[in-house]
Amino acid sequence: MTNVEIQKKAVDVLVTMNTAIKNLRLYPATSAMIVQTVDKLHEAFLEIFATEDSLIFAESEKNLLIGGDALPQKDQERLAVIAFIDLMLNFGVRSLTFEKEMKKEELTIFVDLMSKKPEAIRSKGGLQALAAQGRLEHIILNQKVYVASDHFHQIMDSLDIKDDQIIQYLAAANPVMGIDPEKVRDMAKDANWVMGIFQSGMTQILQHSGSVKNGLLSENMVRMLGILDKVAGEVDQDSISQFIGKSIADLDPDMIGLILTQKIQDLFGGNLYQYIVSQIDDAKYEAVTRQMHPGDDGPADGDQAGTSTMEATEKTSGHRSQVEFVLEEKGGQKEIQAHLLDKQVRQFLNAGEEAFSDPVMMAPLPDVIRQLAVRNDQEQTDELIDQVVNGLFSANPETRSQASASLVEIIDNYPVKRQPELVRNLSKRLVEWVRREETASQSYKIICRRLKDIVQDDIRSERFADALPVLDVFNRIHAGVLEKNDTVHALASEIIGELTSADLLKILFDEFNTDAKNKRLEAGRALARLGDVPLNRLLGMLREHTDSNERVRILQLITDIGQTAVPVIRARIKEDEPWYYLRNLAYLIGRVGSETTVNTLEPLLLHSNNPVRQEALKSVNRIGGNARGPLLLSVLSRVDESFKINVIEMLGILQFAGAVEPLVRMLKDRPLREPPSRADLEEKICTALGHIGAPEAVPILSKVSQSGGFFSVRPYPEKARNAASKALAAIKRRQAETKH
């Protein structure tokens, strides 16, 4: 395997390793996704170990060396390489040696260590000490590494043609007779070989910088490119053009301008020029323009010194526009930049859900989307993000985990000022994902907090309606309406707590109370979804308001909150509260309560104030379901005579069979001194027994109906006798219907 091939595979190893390290910070080491990523990483090492005894990474002046040789500048600037160098420096590691005998278990331990925080590692004795404890026998830290002075002298080690002769040939400097062009063409079928030869040739040419005029150096450079173009033929010209274009764009502006003014437009399929100009750094724009247009010298020093900041900006902008004109005239900068990303975009979109299981494909995605966003390529940006969001709803939990982790990175890498807009545009689907997802991953938490941030912004900007969907899902989780695990429930409760800060509540209550922006309804709905803090405040306002219209408005709002309001309302039910307030609380429970919470009304059924009791009875009937009969029967013996009549009437209407025995007993056990209401009570008992239709009530009903004879010692009132006769008829009718 050639040095260039090893370097390429080593960089692929770094991409996969970075992905594994990043994922380990979000998911447990035992998850299928982590195991799969480490498996791929191990396979990448094995591919190198098929021909090499070891793979050595080393840092030198913030550059990465592979086996002692520096990576090409193009690779040094890759995100994976930069991130890995930073990681090494943070852990105090100058070199890492992975030996051929390395087992996958050792690799797993190493990746896990690298995923920890450096300060945590240092507190436990440092990475080297922990590596020793983990028995990483074949992963060696800080071994001395030999740095080759010129790795290109080993490129053709196995060939019978010396590479320095080839370099001289390609550079058209001191051509050597006897070199077989056909053999060179055979070697040039390897694009990596071609790129290595170019870099070495460029290095030789630039060694003469300062002693030879730039014009001559640029001519030699272009001559070399021409020869290399002919030698390379059709072999992966796109990759070669990108590599050469980046290398030339890194030169000083004078040299870049001299090269661009020569005839290179047709080299490498006509792509080389575009790749060079697309990579020119913004800081070089003006200088390159002056080189390509020597007649335009820009403003004199004196003129520049006398201009304002705005004027200077306009002048700089003018120069930039000139460069863009030149670049578009020569090949189209924007078009080529879009082309550079096009392959990655298509690859991801074509892969579908399978892309989420490929760390190598996923790793560059956030940066690809960032570049598309910067270039305002909205169509492709939306298409890629849409596919990632689709992954959140996959049936495969590993796909959902990878999609959420990737989305977090996409948002973090997105242009900072546009991140809130991105989250806002995705919020409808993210809310649905938050509602469905069961795993409380780190990504889940981060996305929830991103949603919380846009709610805060919505409230501060008085976009109350926009905040409602997000508020609703967090409130439902917080209240237990949506069943989630403890971690998610705690997260939702924490978010609701943060959204009830004094400044946000002030904005909402000001609008609810004044309707100054004509958004009272939306502000009220937002308050209804913010848990106990605003609810307690609303209940306090309900108690104190003298305006009936305001009380009705508050009642409607609390009704909108639903059954989650019951515990807070229950805490407000106290004997010493004003009767009108307790009546309102009874009304509210009848709107927001349920069969499981109907017992909340018991103290109000026993209250001394009749309007309070009557409202509580209506609410019991509204929400009590099968719990109504037992509750009413439980309070029957404890309420006064006047309210007993209402309770008995309701038991009859409910046809509650459990009330038959107590009601029969009440008919039999007549007090010696009957209060004036006794006749009405006995009438209601007979009527209720008739509604219930229980046969066991027939004897007492017969006795009551026949008690009016001349010889009766203590007859029942006439209204009770009439009610008993009707009840007996109803029971007999029901028995007859049952037989048939």
Residue at a domain's end among 141, 168, 193? 141
Of the candidates 622, 623, 599, 603, the one whose C-alpha atom is nearest the C-alpha of residue 613 is 603
Q: Report how far residue 71's alpha carbon sits from residue 57's, in angstroms, rounded to the nearest whole number.
A: 10
Q: Assign 415 a pLDDT band (cuts: 50, 70, 90).
A: confident
Which of the four pLDDT bands, split at 50, 70 and 90, describes residue 258?
confident
Provide CB contacts within 8 A for 139, sequence distance 6+. 96, 97, 98, 99, 102, 106, 107, 110, 131
For residue 341, CA distances in Å to 106, 242, 272, 538 come to 36, 12, 16, 55
Q: C-alpha 721: how far from its chain's center?
A: 73
The dihedral through the CA atoms of 664, 665, 669, 674 has a sign that is: negative
Write down the pLDDT at residue 406: 92
Residue 59 pLDDT: 83
* pLDDT value of position 387: 93
Share of the chain above pLDDT 90, in %: 39
The answer to whether residues 23 and 92 touch, using CB atoms and an 8 Å cutoff, is no
pLDDT tier, 653 (very low <50, low <70, confident <90, very high otherwise): very high
Name every residue whose Cβ is closer than 8 Å to that of residue 672 and which is 6 or more positions away in sequence: none
Q: What is the reported pLDDT for 311?
A: 39
User: Average pLDDT, stretch 9-34?
Assistant: 79
Mean pLDDT lowest for which of 40-44, 97-101, 196-200?
196-200
d(CA 484, CA 481): 9
Residue 312 in this model has a pLDDT that exceeds 50:
no
- Distance, in Å, from the CA atom of 683 to the CA atom of 661, rounded to the nearest integer, reads 16
Of 180 and 427, the structure prediction assigns the larger pLDDT to 427
Task: Please tell me the predicted confidence (pLDDT) of residue 360.
Answer: 66
Q: Classify residue 303 as exposed, middle or buried by CB count within 10 Å of its CB (0-12, 13-18, 19+).
A: exposed
> Cβ-count burial of 409 within 10 angstroms (0-12 exposed, 13-18 middle, 19+ buried)?
buried
CA distance 500 to 506: 9
Q: What is the pLDDT of residues 160-175, one digit of tens each?
A: 444 454 555 554 433 4
The least confident of 120-124, 294-298, 518-522 is: 294-298
Place of tokens 């591919």: 47
Cα separation of 493 and 210, whole Å?
Answer: 68
Q: Are residues 711 and 654 in the same domain?
A: yes
Output 320 or 407, whichever has higher pLDDT: 407
Q: How confident is the model at residue 592 (pLDDT cuts 50, 70, 90)?
A: very high
Q: Is 80 a residue whose pLDDT tops 60?
A: yes
188/245 same-domain check: yes
Handedness of CA 580, 586, 592, 597 (dihedral sign): positive
Measured CA to CA, the distance from residue 647 to residue 653 in angstroms comes to 10
- List the structure tokens of 432: 């649905």
pLDDT tens digits along 562-572: 888 999 999 99
In terms of domains, do 115 and 205 share one?
no
Q: pLDDT band for position 355 (50/70/90)? A: confident
Reported as a single tens digit per residue, the pLDDT across 468-484 is 999 999 999 998 888 89
How much of the chain is in helix, strand and coil states, percent to nearest 5?
A: 70, 5, 25
What is the CATH number for 588? Answer: 1.25.10.10
What confidence category does residue 490 fall into, taking pLDDT thresholds of 50, 70 and 90?
very high
Q: Which of 428, 405, 403 is nearest to 353 (CA)?
A: 403
What is the model's pLDDT at position 28?
A: 67
Q: Please say if the pLDDT value at position 263 is more than 50.
A: yes
Helix (H) or strand (E) holding 95: strand 95-99
The residues near 164 (Cβ < 8 Å, ≥ 6 apart) are 153
Domain contains 266: yes
Per-residue pLDDT at 713: 61
CB-CB contact of 392 with 400 (8 Å): yes
Say yes or no: 690 and 571 in one domain: no
* Region 60-83 average pLDDT: 79
Instruction: Read off the pLDDT of each residue in 552-575 and give the average, rounded to a whole number.
Output: 91
What residue has token string 């405040």?
537
Q: Which of 101, 92, 182, 727 is nearest to 113 (CA)?
A: 92
**pLDDT tens profile 241-256:** 878 888 888 888 888 8
Residue 503: Cβ within 10 Å count: 9
- Whether 418 maps to a domain, the answer reads no
Can you tell me the mean pLDDT for 439-464? 94
Cβ–Cβ < 8 Å for 592, 565: yes
CA-based nearest residue to 127, from 98, 87, 162: 87
- Residue ranges with strand state E in 155-240: none
- For residues 115 and 244, state if they share a domain: no
pLDDT at 77: 74
Q: Residue type for 693, please? A: G
Rounded Cα–Cα distance for residues 511 and 298 (Å): 57
Instruction: State the total domains in the chain.
Output: 4
User: Hey, how many other C-beta atoms are within 10 angstroms of the C-beta on 270?
Assistant: 13
Same domain, 621 and 649: no
User: Last residue of a domain, which of 639, 668, 692?
Assistant: 639
pLDDT value of position 226: 79
Strand partners of residue 57: 66, 96
Q: Residue 124: which pLDDT band, with cuts at 50, 70 and 90? A: confident
More confident residue, 211 or 712: 211
Of 112, 141, 170, which one is at a domain's C-terminal end? 141
Residues in Cβ contact with 651 at an 8 Å cutoff, skipping those fewer than 6 apart: 629, 632, 633, 636, 659, 663, 688, 692
Residues sharing a CB contact under 8 Å with residue 690, sequence separation 6 or more, in sequence order: 652, 701, 723, 726, 727, 728, 729, 730, 731
Q: What percentage of the chain carries pLDDT values higher than 70?
A: 81
Q: What's the pLDDT band for 331 if we cut at 50, 70, 90? A: very low
Contact 356, 33 (CB under 8 A): no
For residue 313, pLDDT beyond 50: no
Domain limits at 254? Answer: 156-299+308-341
Let me know whether 174 and 250 are in one domain. Answer: yes
Is 124 strand, coil or helix? coil
Q: Which residue has the higher pLDDT, 483 or 496?
A: 496
Token pair of 36, please? 């799969």
In this structure, what are the phi and psi dihedrals at residue 194, rounded to the nearest 5 degrees? -60, -45
**Is residue 369 in a domain?**
no
Lowest mean pLDDT among 390-394, 509-513, 579-583, 714-718: 714-718
672, with CB counted inside 10 A (0-12, 13-18, 19+), is exposed
What's the average model confidence in pLDDT over 72-95? 81
Give the integer Cα–Cα distance in Å for 160 and 169: 15
Q: Is residue 692 part of a domain?
A: yes
Clarify whether residues 668 and 715 are in a common domain. Answer: yes
Looking at the predicted structure, is the pLDDT value of residue 151 above 60? no
DSSP collapsed to 3 states, 292-343: HCCCCCCCCHHHHHCCCHHHHHHHHHHHHHHHHHHHHHHCCHHHHHHHHHHH
Tokens 């020869």, located at residue: 227
Specify if 351 maps to a domain: no
CA distance 403 to 430: 12
Together in a domain, 735 and 593: no
DSSP assignment of 578-621:
-HHHHHHHHHHHHHH--GGGGGGGHHHHT-S-HHHHHHHHHHHH
Please say whether the beta carbons of 666 and 684 come within 8 A: no
The chain-wide mean pLDDT, for the chain, equals: 81
Place of tokens 């592979």: 66
* CB burial of residue 117 (10 Å; 0-12, 13-18, 19+): exposed
pLDDT value of residue 321: 44
582 neighbors 609 (Cβ within 8 angstroms):
yes
* 677-695 confidence digits (pLDDT tens): 889 999 999 999 999 998 9
Answer whether residue 715 shows pLDDT above 60: yes
pLDDT score of 274: 66
310 pLDDT higher than 50: no
4: burial class by Cβ within 10 Å (0-12, 13-18, 19+)? buried
Q: Which residues are CB-contacts of 248 (< 8 A; sequence separation ≥ 6)?
A: 221, 255, 256, 259, 276
pLDDT level of residue 211 (50, 70, 90 thresholds): low
CA end-to-end distance (rounded Å), the chain: 96
> Is 168 in the same domain as 286?
yes
Query: Among 374-378, 492-496, 534-538, whose mean pLDDT is lowest?
Result: 374-378
Strand order in the sheet with 95-99: 69-70, 63-66, 54-60, 95-99, 139-141
- Whose structure tokens read 């926009």? 466
Structure-block tokens of residue 438: 């069961």
Domain membership flag for residue 94: yes
Question: How far are the Cα atoms of 206, 265, 358, 671, 714 from residue 226, in angstroms, in the given order?
Answer: 17, 11, 39, 122, 129
Query: DSSP for 539-579?
Result: HHHHHH---HHHHHHHHHHHHHH-GGGHHHHHHH--TTS-H
Predicted confidence at residue 467, as pLDDT, reads 96
106 and 195 fall within a common domain: no
Six token digits for residue 738:
């049952």
Residues 162 and 131 in one domain: no
Pull the structure tokens for residue 213.
């005029």
Is residue 60 domain-resident? Answer: yes
508 domain residue, yes or no? no
Q: Which of 92, 83, 67 is nearest to 21 (CA)?
A: 83
Rounding to the nearest 10 degrees, give the CA dihedral for residues 114, 117, 119, 120.
-90
Put simply, whether the predicted model's pTM sits higher than 0.75 gets the answer no
